[in-house]
Structure formats: structure tokens, C-alpha cells
Chains A and B, each alone.
Chain A
Amino acid sequence: MGYESDKLIVIGMGTCGLASGARGVLSEVEQQMDKLSIEVPILKTGCIGMCYQEVLVDIALPGRARVTYAKVEPEMIQSIINNHVVKGKPVTDYAIGQITTNGEKIYKGIPTYQELDFFKKQNRIVLRRCGFIDPDKIEDYLETDGYRAAEKALGTMSPTIVREVVKKSGLRGRGGGGFPTGLKWEFCSNAAGDPKYLICNADEGDPGAFMDRSVLEGDPHAVLEGMIIAAYAIGARYGYIYCRAEYPLAIERLIRAIEQAEERNFLGENIFGSDFSFHLKVKEGAGAFVCGEETALMASIEGKRGMPRSRPPFPAHRGLWNQPSNINNVETFASVAPIILNGADSYAGIGTESTKGTKVFALTGKINNTGLIEVPAGTQLKEIVYDIGGGIVGGGKFKAAQLGGPSGGCLPAEIIETPIDYDSLIEAGAMMGSGGVVVMDERTCMVDVARFFLEFTTAESCGKCVPCRMGTRTMLGILERISAGLGAMEDIKNLEELAQEIKNTSLCGLGQSAPNPVLSTLRYFRREYESHIKEKRCPAVVCKTIISSPCQHVCPIETDVPAYVTLIGQGKFSEALELIRITNPLPAVCGRVCHHPCESKCRRGDLDESISIRTLKRVAADFAAKEEATGKYKINVSKISGTGKKVAIVGGGPAGLTAAHFLAQSDFSPVIFEAQRVAGGMLILGIPEYRLPRETLQHEIRAIESMGATFHLNTQVGKAISFDQIRMDHEAVFIATGAHVDLKMGIPGEDAEGVYESLSFLRRVNLGEEVPLGKNVAVVGGGNTAIDAARVARRMGAEVTILYRRTRREMPADEMEIEEAINEGVDLQTLVAPVQIMISGGRMAKVQCIKMELGEPDSSGRRRPEPIEGSEFEVEFDNLIVAVSGQPDLSFLEEGHGLSISKWNSIDVHPYTQMTNVEGVFAGGDVVTGPWMVIDAIAAGKRAAAHMELFLNGEEVVPQYGVTKPNIDPVEAIGLTEEDMHLTRPGMPTMEVEKRLRDFAEVELGYTKEMAMKEARRCLRCDTEE
């Protein structure tokens, strides 16, 4: 062994690579080679564009394809060197692709670059060398056709012909403006004056764009060569590359490249043996975004404050030091050599009518494959996001892409098929800009995005002209108000007017384009602005002042989660419960059956797993109940005086109970009319006892009773007492009768004996009725009711099969419920749907099913199931339980009730006040929404109570919107320790399966006190974040 110059190890040492630990990988490679006493040349390249895969290491063996290893950690090096470099066997587990340049033999089991989604649709002209050559070696550049274009231009073409070729190629300025490059050169060439200056704008300051950095770091000579050709075409003898100081590596590589070019007489006097001379220098920027503007940039080169001046005179006539000057950006210069070398037509053949050639984009944000891509102009945003970018992080939903940074705008999902070229983008209200594409998902707030950009432009405004200096600041002030929940509707109008003024009257491009992000988000996401202003909601759960913390903001009743979790962490369980009870009279219920939207937005979930918020609530409630039983604790409830106005509540489910609680708290006298012999509504009629023990529910209902609420059980309104009578006897009415009527599938045989409807099936079982069930039972549906019915049937001794028409991924039921159903032996059959129930001897005998497949996504984003023709099959079942959906029963309303009813037979209300079109009549819960979540019914009851109070006090019933605030003075955070960061979410202890199926005992056992206290410490306390 010894020096093996025919092998090559390539390590990506661009900024992305270095930030991901390329240095550590490099030193490990050197150590491993030392150990084996081998020496293979190491090539340190720039960025290949796959930032999401850094650190990247390539291995090339003679005659074999070059293999790329991704996300390389030092621990992987030993295996890669031993197996691949020494034995010639690539480590396929770590390899992500291979590439051939000269017909080398490819390896089996590793995809080629052309097969990788990331590269398939790319066409790399500007980036063709990035990641493949050593940017510090001019030899590498020369070997790949380097400086041949400059040689050709200076040796065989006149400056006029060079300009004509560039004009014909259709190349337009890649810095964002899109001005035709050849034409620009001509202006400067025709201008009188000597010397002329050529400037490369490498002050890439757009947040979200880094293509210039990658080119400068990965292929600096390409920029030099483009500049030499341009200088020749214009007749410029001096050139500057103005590079921002934030790119130290780029500056270092540029300076080295210039030295190398000078040594070979590609720069300096009489270059390439011609009589043309061109001198090039690097000027380091000093940190001012406005210097990306050409006149400001030139002022900065002159050593002054980088402030723009008005044009004309244009730089082509009076630029740097008042001499004719030409400025192009990095990408534009890097595109020049291929045009000269391969001809204008080769370049003009790519792209669209208005935009020729390729464009480099920096693809970032909430996307899987972040990095640098180069695609033909006219490629659709959709292709960039999904085909190249691999879709949204974590399977999220694409919301918008921001193009062109602080000067640009966003493209929403509706126009994701927009071809990316200069003109289509302008039409859509965005712009190409320098090429930053920041992808945003549903967790990105568009008001926040607009505010962010305005904050940036305000800070970067040089202050020379008033519209930009004062105007952007005023706009920012308005946006800050809106995102703090203090906005007014006229703010939107003011923003639009100001934006127009600033665009029309600012001195330079910075000010003229600064309002764009606001205008474009207003154009596509006006509803989101209105939410912030009118309803004080931030739908993406981002704006701090409005949301307080994500968990609290998404909770329909805004439970102060961070505070109660902290109290639990301190072992103060009953204090935690009291805090929860401020917003929720049914904590033990919610601690068991809430669908916990809080957990889905929990920020800890972005790190590892969300906090087990629901279970912590349960622990607090159960602990306090235990203390209460032993007399150590007493729930603190107020008692009504009995003199308050009487309010009727029709229906004793979660909505009605909650309304009763809050009305009683305000000393009204709530009277509940409940048709069944027990209160609880769906909590008792729908939810099985093994999920919500009856005593737990009754304990919370008793607390409401103890406040003085009157319960009329077994009192069906419409039969026992008329609705009109109730209206007459009470000052206000809240209708919360739920949605207890089953919907049918609409297939033949559905009425046969043996077929049950899930809601009535569960109701009868839950009320203790005898429900005959055979051995083999099928349940149709994929929601929580289907799972409930299946698990209940299991407990009644049946073998149960669930038939669902989509796949498990699309099932709306709680994932844990599905899991437990399977644990209990329920057979889950997906992509099947019953088409007919066959009857024999007067009752159902068989079910004919059809197989399904998933087609295109429907409006809910779920892929629509479609039947596979001819795939029908029959299965024998004794019973079929249909759990499709339900709807309200409004038969209790008399003729002429006057209430507005929807086509789904639900009652129409104001979505926030819960008041119907009839004054004094409110409605909430499933009777309004159709079958929906417990916590939403509770929230409706709570909002109804608050607005009924307005009504009862003779005030106008207007929505009482407010931002989310902590319920009590902020509880001091415990402070995360390193240990807390390593804690993991405990699984839910459950009863053994054999025991469960014997009766209806509770399956989930909850956490111990110790488990709960430990779990609570994982909370990040987002509410305390500044």
C-alpha cells in the first residue's frame, strides 16, 4: 500500500458541509488512512447542492462510477474506507447515488444521479462544476473546459460579436431585475469615457438565497471567466467583485482564484496573448443589504456610506467614480462562458419564451430536500416542491412558497402550477429575485412572514429617502399591531395605500419592492389577516402575543396548559386541577377522551414527542378526586342564589353541562332538560365505559348539580314538554341536543335484521339494554365510533372485523384507539366497502364487499377511494354495525319555530356567540356541528354561556373575542435541565388484554404521580418565551 493517485476521496467543504461537520469527517478520513498506511488524494470541493444530505463524501475508484455517501458521520468512515477504498465494495447502506462522467462501470444496488428525484428534473449549467472540482485548483477548472470560452472570445470574436451572442442567447440578469444582459453590455460599451469598470455584485443579501455563495465557493473561476468575457465585450479595463463579508470562504477562494488566473495571464496586462488588459480585485462588503442596489454598491466601493442615488444618469454612463460601469451578479457571469462556448442557440433552446436558459434556486424552509437546484426556466413550482424538493417536512401540507425574498411575494397552493419565469411571477405578484424559494407549511403564519420581511427592510433601509425610511416603519408598526391582536379592519386598507405610495415614490429598488411581501400575502391570505384582526386568532399558531403558547391557543377553551403542567411538575395536583377548572368543568372527562389538539401543536413534539397533556390533566383530576373521597380536598364551587334569571338548557351532554356550569357561576338558574334517565349525552350514550368510567363522569356532573343547576331527567322536549312551553318559562334557551340519529350507507339490505346502526347500538349497550349479537360481527367505518362499536362488540364476546374503504393512514379515529382495538383482536380490513347485504331466512346472512383503491386527493386532501371493478366478494357475518355518521334530531321543534336550519339538519348559529337567528335562543355542540369532538361541544357551551349572559343582562350580543392569555399570573417555569431534555414521554399503562375483554373496566390506567411529575418537566414553557 502507499500513495494511490488513481483513487479519489471527495469531501464537500462548502459552508453547508462545514456547518454539518465536514472538518471532523476529513480528520477521521486522514486518521483511518494513516492507520492502514494508505494515501489517497482528498479533493475538497464546494457544494453539490444537496444541503439536506451534508456531510457528503464521494469515493471514486479507477474505471468505476463515483459513489456519493450522504449524512456522513465520522463513525461511518472506517467502514467506507475499509470496504470501498480498500476492497472496492461500496457500503450500499450509506450510499445515496453514483455518477459516471466517462463511461465508468456502475455498481449494483446504488441509484445513479439521474435516477435520484433531486437531480432528475435539474439541468445544471451554472452549477455543473460545483461539488465536482477542487475550487482551489485552477487545473481542475482547466480540465473541465475552463477558460476555453474566454480564449475563444478574445482570440476569435470581436467585442461586438460577443455582445451579439449574449443578446441572442436571451440571458437576463439573474440578480432579480431580469434586464437583458447583452443589451446592458452594449449600453456601457457605447458610453463615452475611459476607463470603464466592470463590477460583479456578490453582495447576496436576500435572506433565503445562497446560490451566489455556492458558486463562488464551488467554482470561482467560472465567475472570473464570465467577467473576463464581459470586460472584453464592454471594453472595461478594471473590475471589482463586491462580496459580502459574511462569506469569508467565498472571499478566500476568490482571492486565490484571481492569483492563479494572474499567474497564467488570464488576468492582468495583455491577457490570453491579446492586446486586451483586465485587472480584477475583490472588495469586501461591510454589512449593508442596500449595497445590493447598484448605485449604493458603487458608493460603497468608493469607500462611502452605501447609499443609492437617483438614476439617471445610469451607471452605464456615470457609474463608479463617475466612469461608465457595468454591474451583473454572480450567476449571470457564471452563465456566460457556456453561452460563448456552445453558442447562443444552445442556451436559448432552454426555458420559456420570456426567460431563457436555467435558473438556480435556493430551496429552503419546510421542505425535505433543502439545497441548491438548477432547473430550466419555466419549471413549475409544483415540480420544484414535490419532485425535486421531496415534499413538505413531516408530511405536512404545502401552504405557500416565498420567492424573491424581501422584494418578492408568495405563491399559494392554488397556483402551485405556475411556471417559474420572470413574467409569470410578476403576474402572480411575486418575482424571481435572486432565486430564494422558501417553502412554508401550515405552521407558517403569513402575517408573521410579512412582518418579518418588513422588519428586515426597515432595519436595512439606508434612510436616505422618506418613503422608505418612514413608510416601511409605519407599515411595520401596523403589522406589529395586527400580530399582537390589536389591529383594526381599516389597517388593511392603510397597509395597501401605504404600500402603493412607497412603491411609487422610493428612491431605489429596496424601497420600491419592500411592500411586496405585504401586498402578496394580503392578496392570497387576506383571511388570515382578518382572523388576527377580528377574531384574535393566529391560525398557524405563531404570533406570540395572540397565542401565548401554542397548546393554549389551539385548545377550544384555551386551557392554560403550561401553567397546570408546571404545577403538576411541582407536585401541586389539586392546584393544577383548580386552574383547569377555571375553563373546564369536565377535566376528568377531557383527561380521558379529549382528542387533544394541544398535543398536536406542542413544540416539544418538534424535538421528540409532545407532552402528554391529556393524561396529565387526568392525573390532576383523579388525584383530586381521591383526596376528595378521603376528605382532604374539596372542589371549590360557587352556589347560585336562586334569584337569578331562569335559563333552559335542552340536552344534558357536554355542551349543555358546560353551559349550565358557567351560567350558574354567574348566578343564573340553569334548568337542564334531558331525554334519557341519566345526564351526560354522548359522554354516556356514545363513549363506552372502558374509556370513560361512569363514576368519573357522574362525579363531575354532581359538581355542576351542587352549584344549584336543576336537572329534569327522562324529560324529552317535544313529548314530555313542548319547546314553546320551555321558551315561555325561561328567559333564554340553549339547545344542545346533540346528533343521535344514524345515517345509513344507502346500500340494499341495510334494514335487514342483524344490521345495527352504531349510535343506537352503543346507546342501547351503554344504557344496559339487551342487544343480541352473533359470533361474527363486522363494523363499517373508520372513525372513533366505529372503533368504539368494534371494541364493545369484542367485549360482548364477538369476533370483530372492521371494514374501511381507505387505508389505515386515512382513518379519522385516534391512532391509539386503533392500536388498542387491534391489540384486543379486532381484525382491520382496509380498502374494502360493503355494496350489498344479503338476506336469508329474514335476516342478514352475508355481506357483499368490493375492493377499493386510492385515487386522486379530494378537497380534504385525502386520496379518494375508488372501487376496483369486478373485485366483489362475499363474507359471512352474523351482524353488521354501520358507523358512517350521524345527524341531529330536530323533531322536537314545533311548526313555525323560526330557527334557521342547514341542509345537514343542524341549527345555524353565529360561530362565536352561538346565538341562532332567533333572539334569546342559542345552540351549540353536535346539534350545530354534526357529530364532532367533545372539547368543541364544551367550548360551544362555554361561549354560549358567556354570550347568553350578555343577552340576559340586556346587552348587545356581540362576539367577545380576545387574545389568548394565561388564566393566572404566570407560574414560574421550573427550568429545563439537561436531564429533562433527555426524558421521554412515558407510554400509557393499560390493563392486560385478557382481563379487559371480561367486562367494561377502564383500559387506560393513567400515570402514577411520579410519572406525571417527571413528564411535566419536559414542558418547554413556550408561554414564557419572549
Chain B
Amino acid sequence: MSTDLTIEDVREDAGLLETEEPLDLAPVQKIVESLEDRKGMLIPVLQEVQNVYGYVPEEAANMVADLMGIYRSQVFGVLTFYTQFHLTPRGRHIMRACSGTACHVRGGKAVISKLENVLGIGHGETTEDMFASFEKVACLGACGLAPVIMIDNDAHGQLDPVKTERILENLREMDMMKRAEK
């Protein structure tokens, strides 16, 4: 991951500079304080923080560093090393397209282009309406059903561009219905 960006740049890109409400950091405190033993717990803590916010906000990362008594740079280093961590808010749905070997030789590229075209975003990006984030990931381990994508926690296999589009349409419909209910 490129590290030329500062947190400010990232936040500006994500339109976060004008956040009106300050972030509620109580959950971070709770997560760190509930640790029995802090040894080696940085990654699990960050994973939990991400579970709460859907991403790891800068304030939260700083707070983790302060509470655990480690440098903020260490935390930032870990956050940018692992592909699982996100520094910007993510869409309501996470689309992970497998770019593993089996998917590749069985036409995964066309499925990925379809996803990118329909969503209008590329790897690591989120749609403007926060409907979905898209990322290409290393093998999802469902090679027997290549090509595969994972939407949230559900794997969809034996895809082609047409099936992919249909799945996305259904998801968007369900997403709209859910939002309307709210």
C-alpha cells in the first residue's frame, strides 16, 4: 500500500474533514481495557475496532496507541501493512473478487471487469452512495467453484459476467428495500 498519503489526505478524499459530530471513542477504550494480557494483542484490538466502526478512524488508532502504550507510528505501520485494515469508511456491502490462479484461468478477469463496470469503482474504492466497497483479494480458497466472488460473508461461485450482474442487481434491490424500511 502506498504510504505517501498522510491521514489528512485520506480523510479529505473520504470527505471527512467536515465531520460535524466527534467520534464516540468509548468502544475503543472498552476494547483495550477488557484485555487480560496486552502481549501481542495489537492486531486483534484493531480488528475489533474495525468491527465497531467498519474501518479504523484515525482518532481510534491514536487512542489505541496511547492506551496500549506504543507509538502511533507502530500502529499506523501495522494498519498499512495488512490488507484487512481500512483507514476510510467502507460501503454497506463488501465485494471481494478472487484473483487467485484457478479463478484467473477460468475467466475471473471478465467477472472482475463486470463488477468494476457496474459499480463504477476500482480496487480499494467505495461507491459514492456507500452501497459497496470493492477489492480484489488473493485466493478465497473456493477454487473448485472458480470464478468466485464474496459479497459480505457469502461466497458466490461459478460466475460469469451475466450472473455477476444479476447478483449485483438483486443486492442493490435488497439494499434499497432495507434502506426504505429504515
The interface of chain A, by Cβ under 8 A from chain B, is: 15-16, 18-20, 51-52, 54, 204-210, 213, 245-248, 283-289, 300-307, 321, 362-366, 370-372, 402, 405, 436, 438, 440, 444, 449, 452-453, 456, 460, 462, 603, 606-607, 981, 1020, 1025-1026
Contact check, B101 vs A207: say whether CB atoms are below 8 A apart: yes
On chain B, the number of residues with a Cβ less than 8 Å from chain A's Cβ atoms is 49
Taken together as a complex, chains A and B put the C-alpha atoms of A213 and B148 apart, in Å, by 16
Return the contact of B82 from the options A286, A362, A366 (Cβ within 8 A): A286
- Is there a chain A Cβ closer than 8 Å to B5's Cβ? no
C-alpha spacing A247/B142, complex, angstroms? 10
Interface string of B26-52 (1 = CB under 8 A from A): 000000000000011111101100000
Indicate if the CB atoms of B84 and A245 lie closer than 8 Å.
yes
Contact across chains for A207 and B100 when beta carbons are under 8 A apart: yes
**Residue among A304, A370, A444, A1025 making CB contact with B143, cutoff 8 Å:** A370
Bound Cα distance from A607 to B44, whole angstroms: 44
Give the contacts of B78-94 with A (CB-CB under 8 A). 78, 81-85
| CB–CB A366/B40 < 8 A | no
Q: Is B95 an interface residue (CB 8 A)?
A: no
From B46, B109, B157, contact of A19 by CB (8 A): B157
B150-170 interface with A by 8 A CB criterion: 153-158, 160-162
Check B142 against A16 for contact (C-beta < 8 Å). Answer: yes
A305 to B101, Cβ gap below 8 A? Answer: no
Residues of A within 8 A of B144 (CB): 16, 51-52, 54, 210, 362-364, 370-372
Which residues of B are found within 8 Å of A51, using beta-carbon distances?
142-145
Q: Which of B7-15, B17-25, B133-141, B173-181 contacts A (4 or more CB under 8 A)?
A: B133-141
The answer to whether B106 touches A246, judged by C-beta atoms less than 8 angstroms apart, is: no
Does A365 lie within 8 Å of B78, measured CB to CB?
Answer: no
Q: Does B77 contact A (CB under 8 A)?
A: yes
Contact of B141 among A15, A286, A456, A607 (CB under 8 A): A15
Complex contacts, A452 vs chain B, CB 8 Å: 101, 104
Query: Which residues from chain B contact A372 at a C-beta distance below 8 Å?
Result: 144
Task: Give the contacts of B109-139 with A (CB-CB under 8 A).
Answer: 109-110, 113, 116, 137-139
Of residues 54 to 79 in B, which have CB atoms within 8 Å of A's CB atoms? Answer: 74, 77-78
Is the beta-carbon distance between B77 and A305 smaller than 8 angstroms? Answer: yes
User: How many angstroms from the CA of A205 to the CA of B42 in the assembled complex?
Assistant: 22
Q: List the 3 closest pairs (A to B, CB-CB), nearest first.
A: A51-B144, A207-B100, A286-B82
- Give the docked Cα–Cα distance between A52 and B153 (Å): 21
Given A303-B78, A364-B146, decide whether A436 and B101 contact each other with a Cβ distance below 8 A: yes
Contact B113 A210 (CB under 8 A): no
Q: Which residue of B lies closest to A441 (CB)?
A: B105
Contacts A208-B102, A603-B110 known; 7 new A-B pairs at CB < 8 A: A15-B155, A52-B144, A205-B139, A210-B144, A284-B47, A436-B102, A440-B105
| A436:B143 contact, CB within 8 angstroms | yes
Interchain CB contact (< 8 A) of A303 among B42, B113, B145: B42
Nearest CB in chain A: distance from B67 CB, A: 14
Shortest beta-carbon distance from A982 to chain B in Å: 9
Q: List 17 A-B contacts (CB under 8 A).
A: A15-B142, A20-B145, A52-B144, A208-B102, A208-B143, A285-B84, A286-B85, A306-B81, A362-B143, A365-B105, A371-B144, A436-B102, A436-B143, A449-B101, A456-B99, A606-B160, A607-B162
Q: Give the distance in Å from the alpha carbon of A205 to the alpha carbon of B83 in the complex.
A: 13
> Of B74, B78, B105, which is within 8 A of A449 by CB?
B105
Interfacial chain B residues near A370, Cβ < 8 Å: 102, 143-146
- Taking a contact as CB atoms under 8 Å apart, the answer to whether A213 and B105 are in contact is no
Chain B contacts of A206 at CB under 8 A?
Answer: 139
Shortest Cβ distance from B167 into chain A, in angstroms?
12
Residue from A283, A364, A444, A453 having most chain B Cβ neighbours under 10 A: A364
Among B104, B143, B153, which residue has the most Cβ atoms of chain A within 10 A? B143
Q: Is the CB of B145 within 8 A of A19?
A: yes
Given contacts A18-B154, A19-B148, A19-B154, contact A365 B106 (CB under 8 A): yes
Residues on A with C-beta less than 8 A from B100 are 207-208
A305 cross-chain contacts in B, Cβ below 8 A: 77-78, 81
Contacts A51-B145, A208-B100; is A246 near B137 (CB within 8 Å)?
yes
A685 CB to closest chain B CB (Å) equals 44
Q: Please, how many angstroms separate the alpha-carbon atoms of A363 and B102 in the complex?
A: 9
A208 touches B157 (CB 8 A): no
A20-B157, A402-B101, A438-B105 in contact; A209/B141 too (CB < 8 A)? yes
- A51-B144, A246-B140 in contact; A287/B82 too (CB < 8 A)? yes
Q: Which of B116, B138, B158 contacts A207 (CB 8 A)?
A: B138
Residue in contact with B40 in the complex, picked from A15, A301, A606, A607, CB distance below 8 Å: A301
Q: Is A289 in contact with B113, judged by CB distance below 8 angstroms?
A: no
Q: How far is the CA of A402 from the CA of B105 in the complex (A)?
A: 11
* Docked-complex contact B110 and A1025, CB < 8 angstroms: yes
Q: Tell me, in angstroms, the Cα distance from A52 to B146 when the chains sit together.
A: 10
Residues of chain B with a CB closer than 8 A to A456's CB: 99, 138
On chain B, the residues within 8 Å of A444 by CB distance are 105
Contact B139 A287 (CB under 8 A): no
Bound state CA distance, A452 and B155, in angstroms?
A: 23
Residue of B nearest to A249 (CB): B153
Inside 8 A of B138's CB, which chain A residues have their CB? 205, 207, 246, 289, 456, 460
Contact A364 B141, beta carbon cutoff 8 Å: no
**Residues of B contacting A371 in the complex (Cβ-Cβ under 8 angstroms):** 144
Residue of B nearest to A445 (CB): B105
A372 to B143, CA, bound (A): 10
Whether B145 and A16, one on each chain, are in contact in the complex, defined by CB atoms closer than 8 angstroms, is yes
Please, which residue of chain A has its CB at the minimum distance from the CB of B82?
A286
Bound together, the chains give a CA A347 to CA B154 distance in angstroms of 38
A705, B95: Cα distance in complex, Å: 60
Tell whether, in the assembled complex, residue B105 and residue A286 are in contact, meaning their CB atoms are under 8 Å apart. no
CA distance A307 to B81 in the complex (A): 9
Q: Which of B44, B106, B144 has the most CB of A within 10 A?
A: B144
Using CB atoms, name the residue of chain B closest to A286: B82
Contact of B153 among A209, A248, A287, A306 (CB under 8 A): A248
Decide: B101 and A405 in contact? CB cutoff 8 A.
yes
Q: Chain A nearest CB: distance from B170 CB in Å?
A: 13
Contact indicator A981/B162 (Cβ below 8 Å): yes
Query: Complex: how many Å from CA A364 to CA B102?
Result: 6
A205 to B84, CA, bound (A): 14
Q: A14's closest neighbor in chain B, by CB?
A: B142
Q: Is the CB of A19 within 8 A of B155?
A: yes
CB distance from A514 to the nearest CB of B (A): 14
Q: Is the CB of B43 within 8 A of A303?
A: yes
Q: Is the CB of B145 within 8 A of A54?
A: yes
Contact between B155 and A438, CB atoms less than 8 A apart: no
